[in-house]
Amino acid sequence: MNEYFYQEFPEHLKLVEFKRPNLIILEREQDSALNFFGGKDWGNVSEDLSYIPKSKRANFILSLFMVVLTDQCLFTCFSDSYPIWRKQTGFPKFGWSGFGPHNENPLKLLWAPEREKEVDNTEVIEDMPNFVDFMIKTVKDFFNQNLSDVKYTDFFDAIINDSAFEFSEGEIVKSFKTVLQQKLA
């Protein structure tokens, strides 16, 4: 997962279709890098994933999920630290922009590919313990180096205690939630 995330994921991420918000949103958000992908419920998941080699899709959706989840949690719960994260990463937002920005629940990044049969559920679920270990270590290391005011344990507590964590569609989402809670116990 480490090798994929740092070496292949950045290139694969460029293949996803992004949409720029209108100028009013860009000015209000004061974020020149602001892009959206996915739309409601990641309605175009099959099209987005069609550019990702099938052998890499599991790692791609897990990587995408990790960065979107981190972005949204930091924005919502650790807003003082968010500008540092945003400046260093500039990751796209999962959702859409109309009269305003609309962020989707990051757990839908795990559910939509399962819903559309774009990934092998068994493969993703079997990889889940390794992915969660990678995610915890990556978040901990990034925070220690760049966001020392955010404790990684507080970050994961915020995720688990957010109402969005109640989303429970699909076996992959259930696996992630179970494994995350076990690893953090």
| pLDDT one-digit tens code per residue, 47-78 | 999 999 999 999 999 999 999 999 999 999 99
CA 71/CA 66 separation, integer angstroms:
9
Asked if pLDDT for residue 7 goes beyond 70, the answer is yes
Count of all residues that appear for the chain in the document: 185
Q: What is the pTM of this model?
A: 0.94
Q: Residues near 158 by Cβ (< 8 Å), separated by ≥ 6? A: 73, 76, 77, 78
Q: Which amino acid belongs to residue 166? A: E
Nearest to 58 by CA among 105, 8, 24, 14: 8
pLDDT tens digits along 75-98: 999 999 999 998 999 899 898 887
CA 64/CA 108 separation, integer angstroms:
11
Task: Tell me the residue ranges of DSSP E strands in 57-110.
Answer: 93-97, 101-103
Residue in this structure with the two tokens 């005011």, named with its chain if needed? 149
